[in-house]
Structure 1
Amino acid sequence: MKVRVGDSRWLRIGIVGTLISLLSACESFNRPQAPAALNSRYNDEQPTLSGDGRWLALVSNRNNNSHILLYDLRGKLFVNLPGLNQSDVIVENPSLSRTGRYLVYISSIQGRPDIALYDRATQRAELLTLGYRSWVRNPQISPDGRYVVFETAKRGQWDIEVLDRGPLIELDIPDGTPVNP
């Protein structure tokens, strides 16, 4: 079979067009997507539920970085957490208070783990173990948000410590619940 000059030009254009569409398809496949559905093709791990069962926190790499995401099980959507996730910080082991107001987690900056607390009402994160001289892991917050328990290697073995945030913090209690001093 003979190929004419005009036919080979269209063949080349067709091959180039196919290659371009394949490359652009591969590029868009790797592009991070905004969190939309709970289950995705990304690595989602370390789930934790709030005491009232409404909120689900998890660690995800959906933005090519370790981030904590908060999912509203009632509304079936992710909730924005301004001031929580930073690109140079590794986060893990989230724990939620009763209504999800408080979130404690491990925050590792330059490889050093600290326990951090994020308050959704103020949209601020603070390190609770800043200056702590030992390794920490697996923080859990009490339902009312006053106490944080965690494991520490202070004595050369893993022990349990309880951190009392104090009587003056605003407790995470359902609306209308009487507060006993």
Structure 2
Amino acid sequence: MTAILGGAVLGAWRGPPALADGAFGLVCAAVLTAYLLSLRAGRALVGVVAVLAVFLALRSPQAAAGVVLAERGRVESAVVTSIEDGWHPAGRPRRLCTVQDSDGAVLPVRIWRGCEGRTRPGDVLAVLYDPEGRLPPRGAGSGASVGGSLAGVAGCVAALVLGCLVAVVRSHRLVHAVPAFREPAR
């Protein structure tokens, strides 16, 4: 878990793109799965842990970008040029704003944080920029903190820790640790 999240944060902060985009996290998930299989932890438990580890590896790049932007990002104003209705990954509708910076350049990403029902073209939104240009800009929302960025993956980390714990305990069969009960000879 530490390698998956730490690799994503390190990649977003300074490291190579393979760390920042979650590829390293997927490798860590595969290594964890192989390790638990070598312990003979049980295929069902290993399957649950593998799914949780892959989910964490896929969620950690966004959380890492949030951590890095919360620490070194700068908030600047951007003007809304157009608004589209889009979809949240969870299947809910979401508004997406195309914005341009103070130099008139249209940003390569559409902003959803701050793009609300009352937002119109010509309105000004606060956008969080990475001064080093390593991360794409995003709307400056209320969750621009390290804790807010990591809160989204905290549940997955807790479930993954619990799954690994149960899988490792399951791999150490108690049958071998406790002598078998024997009936007294008659």
More strand by share: 1
* TM-score (normalizing by structure 2): 0.21
Higher relative contact order (CA 8 A, sep 6+): 2
* TM-score (normalizing by structure 1): 0.22
